Chain A
Amino acid sequence: MHSLSRRLLISVSVPLALFFGVMMLVLDSGFRALSERSIQEVLDSEMVSLVAAAEPQPNGGYAPTPRELDPRLARPRSGLYAEIRSQLHQWRSPSSAGLDADFGSLLPRGERNLAYAIIGHERVAIESRAIQFEDDPNGTRGLTFSVAVSLTPYEEQLWRFRQQLIGWFIGLMLVLLIVLAGLLRWVLAPVRRMEREINEVEEGRSDALGGGYPRELSGVATNLNALLIGERRRVTRYRDTLGNLAHSLKTPLAVMRSSLPAADAGGAVSHEIDRMSGIIEHQLKRAAASGGALLGQAPVEVAQVAQELRGALLKVYASKDLAIELAVAPGAQFVGDRGDLTELLGNLLDNACKWCKSRVRLGAAAVESAGPRERLSLVIEDDGPGISAENRARVLQRGVRADETVPGHGLGLAMVHDTVDMYGGTLAIEASPLGGARFALRLPGR
C-alpha cells in the first residue's frame, strides 16, 4: 500500500468489481425471469392443446387422440410429459414410458398449480389443472391435467448465459484495469521523474531538480530547489564564518604566544594558549564538518584527494626519506563533503608520515557487497612503531583532552573519529603488515 499507483488501482478496481458483480446479479435474475416466463408459455400452450385433444375413452377415462397428440409427447424421454388423471383412471403420455414420474395429487375443482419435480433424472416444471368437462359422457368428476416440461435446455441456456456474462465481464474489467494502469503511469510520470531526480540529487549526480513539471508539482520542485541551493549557500557561509572566526581568535593567541619570553616556552601561559587553541580548533572543526548532510554534492574521487594530499605531505616531510604509496582503486568515490574527506585523510596520512620509518600506504576501494553507508573502504598504514592494543581505544577518545593522553596522536584522531561517526561509518585500529599502525575506515561510498 506504499505505492500511490497501487493505491489508486485498488481504490478503482474495488468499486469496479462491486459494480460488475451487481450488474451480473441483475442480468442473471432478469434472464431467469425471462426463461421462467417462456417455460410458463410452453406449459400453457401444451396444456391447452392437451385439453383440446382429450377424448372420453370406453373404459371411462380420458385420453388424447393419438392423431392430435404433440409428437414430443409420443417420443420417449423427449422432455415433454403429460398425464390425465381422475379418481379411477390415469393416462400418461408415451414419452414418460418407463420413467418413474410423479405428477402430484389430484386437484380439487377449479384449482391450478405449478410445481417442480424430478422425472427420470431431469428436473421438470409441472403445470396441473383441475378440469370439469360440461358434457361428461363418462360421468367422471374432476379430471386433473398435468403437463411437465424438462428444465434441462433452459438450465443449459442459463449456464451458457452466465458463462458468457462472466467471460465478458472479466475481459472488460481486465481491459479497464489495463487502460487504467496505463493512464496512471502517464498521470504519475512526473511524480516518478521527481523521485528519480531527487535520487540523483541525493547521490550527487545532479545538483538540482529540472524544470518542466506540471502545475501541481512545479511548486514543490521550485521549493525543493530553493531549499537545496539555500542549504548549500548556508553551509558555505557557515564555513566561511567559522574560518574567519578561527582566524580572528587564533591570531591574537599567536601574538600572545610569540610575545612570551623564550624562557616561558613550556610555562603555564603557553600551556593555556595550547589548550585554548585546541578547544577552538576542535569545536570549529566539529561545527564545520558537514557529516554528509548536504544534498546535491558530487561524490568525491578518492584518488584525486589522495594525490593532492600526497603532494602536500611530500613537501611538508621533504626532509624525511619516506615513500607514500597510493593503492586507490580507480572509481573509488566518497559520498559526502570533499573537505571532510580531505580532513580525514590529511590527519591520518600526516600521523602516518610523522610516525613511519620510511613507508606510508593508503588503500581505497569500493566494497560492492557492503551497505551504502560503508561502501568505501580506506586503509592507512605505516611502518612505524604502531599503537599498542591498550592505547588504541584511548587514541580515539573524543574531546580536547585526547591529545594529553597519547602524546603525538593529537586532536587529529579524535576529529577523525567524530567525522566517521557523523557519516555513520566505522573506524578500527589494527596492526599493519608493514609493522606500524593500520587505520581501517568504512565510509559512505560508491
Chain B
Amino acid sequence: MRILVVEDEAALRETLKTRLVEAGFTVDVASDGNEGMFAGQEYPLDVAIIDLGLPGLSGLEVIRRLRAAKKTFPILILTARDNWQDKVEGLQAGADDYVAKPFHFEEVLARLQALLRRAGGWASPQLKCGPIVLDTRAQTIAVSGVAVELTTFEYRILEHLMLRAGDVISKSELTERLYDQDFERDSNVIEVLVGRLRRKLDPQDALKPIETLRGRGYRFALPRDAGS
C-alpha cells in the first residue's frame, strides 16, 4: 500500500514514516501543503494522512484541491484542534476520517486499514473470497482455515489484489505500491512474487485465485463472500 504523509513537524513526520514502513506501507512524505499537493497528484497513492495545521497551503485546502483534481484515495486527517467545527470542515472538504493529536499509532493504523478496506468496498477487517481469508489487522492469510506464511512483499501484493478483488491491476501499479519512488521499476520481480503466491495459496492449482490478463495485469478472480 502506498501512503502519503503530509505533516510539517519533522519529528512526527519521521516517526510516522518509520512506523508505517514497519507496518508494511510504502511511504511518501511531504512537509507542507504545496509538496503534499504535488505528491498527491503525481504518485499513485492508496491513502493519505494530512495534518490540518500546515504552513502555507492549509491541510483543508490540500484536501479540497485533491478532491477537485478527482483524486479519490481515502484521506485521514490529523488535527490538533479536537473540535467538531474543524472535523466537520475537514470531512466536508473530502477527508474520510480524522485522528486527534496526540494519537496512538495503533489507532492511526487501524483507521488507515479501515479506510483502505472501505475504499475497496470491504466492510469488515477480514477479507474473505471463497476459502481464502486475509485479516488486515493481524496481516495473516488462511486458505480453508489453514494458515499460510507469506513474505512482506507477497502479503502486500495479495492484500492489494484482494482489496480490489474483481478489478484489473497493472503490473506497474503493483510495483509502485511495493517500492519507494526512486526504486528502479522494470524488473520481473512482480511476476516472480505472483508465481510464488499462486503456489502458496493454491498448491493443487484448483482455485486459480489470481488471473493473468496478458498486457493488462492481474485480477483476483475469486468472488467476495457476501456480507464481508
Interface residues of A (CB under 8 A from B): 243-244, 246-259, 262, 265, 270, 273, 277, 281, 285, 288, 308-309, 311-312, 315-316, 318-319, 338-339, 342-343, 345-347, 350
Contacts and interface: CB of A to CB of B under 8 A. Distances in A.
Contacts of B9: 251-252, 254-255
Given A251-B53, A285-B83, A343-B84, 4 more contacts: A250-B102, A251-B9, A254-B101, A350-B84
6 A-B pairs with least C-beta separation:
A346-B84, A253-B102, A254-B102, A247-B80, A312-B91, A254-B101
A243 B81 contact: yes
Contacts of B124: 319
Nearest to B86: A243
Contacts of A258: 12, 15-16, 19, 102-103, 105
A308 B93 CA distance: 11
Contacts of A350: 84
Max chain B CB contacts within 10 Å: which of A246, A288, A315, A345? Answer: A315
A343 B19 contact: no
B105 A246 contact: no
B187 interface: no
A246 B81 contact: yes
Contact of B91 (A259, A262, A270, A316): A316
Max chain A C-beta neighbours (<10 A), residue from B91, B96, B118 = B91
B99 to A, nearest CB: 9
Interface string B93-133: 00111101111111000000010011000011000000000
Contacts of B96: 315, 318
B114 A256 contact: no
Contact of B12 (A243, A251, A262, A342): A251
B139 to A, nearest CB: 14
Contacts of B170: none
Residue of B9, B83, B88, B123 with most chain A CB atoms under a 10 A cut-off: B83
Nearest to B13: A255
B206 interface: no
Contact of A251 (B80, B82, B118): B80
Contacts of B16: 258
Contacts of B83: 285, 288, 339, 342-343, 346
Nearest to B8: A251
Given A308-B92, A312-B87, A319 B105 contact: no
B84 A273 contact: no
Interface string B23-61: 000000000000000000000000000000100000000
Chief secondary structure at chain A's binding surface? helix
A347 B84 contact: yes
B143 to A, nearest CB: 25
A268 B16 CA distance: 21
Given A254-B101, A311-B92, A259 B82 contact: no
Interface residues of B, number: 34
Given A316-B97, A319-B118, A255 B84 contact: no
A319 B96 CA distance: 12
B85 interface: yes
20 contacts: A243-B53, A243-B80, A246-B82, A251-B53, A254-B78, A256-B102, A257-B102, A258-B16, A259-B11, A273-B102, A277-B102, A309-B84, A309-B88, A315-B96, A316-B91, A318-B114, A319-B118, A338-B85, A342-B83, A346-B84
B42 to A, nearest CB: 26
Interface of B: 9, 11-12, 15-16, 19, 53, 78, 80-85, 87-88, 91-92, 95-98, 100-106, 114, 117-118, 123-124
Nearest to A339: B85
A342 B85 CA distance: 6
Contacts of B84: 309, 312, 342-343, 345-347, 350
Given A251-B9, A265-B104, A316-B98, A246 B88 contact: no
A350 B88 CA distance: 12
A273 B117 CA distance: 30
A308 B15 contact: no
Contacts of A343: 83-85
A346 B88 contact: yes
A288 B96 CA distance: 26
A240 to B, nearest CB: 10
A318 B123 CA distance: 8
B54 to A, nearest CB: 10
Contacts of A254: 9, 12, 78, 80, 101-103
Contacts of B11: 255, 259
Given A273-B102, A316-B97, A247 B81 contact: yes
B88 to A, nearest CB: 5
Contacts of B12: 251, 254-255, 258
Contacts of A346: 83-84, 87-88
A315 B91 contact: yes
A435 to B, nearest CB: 24
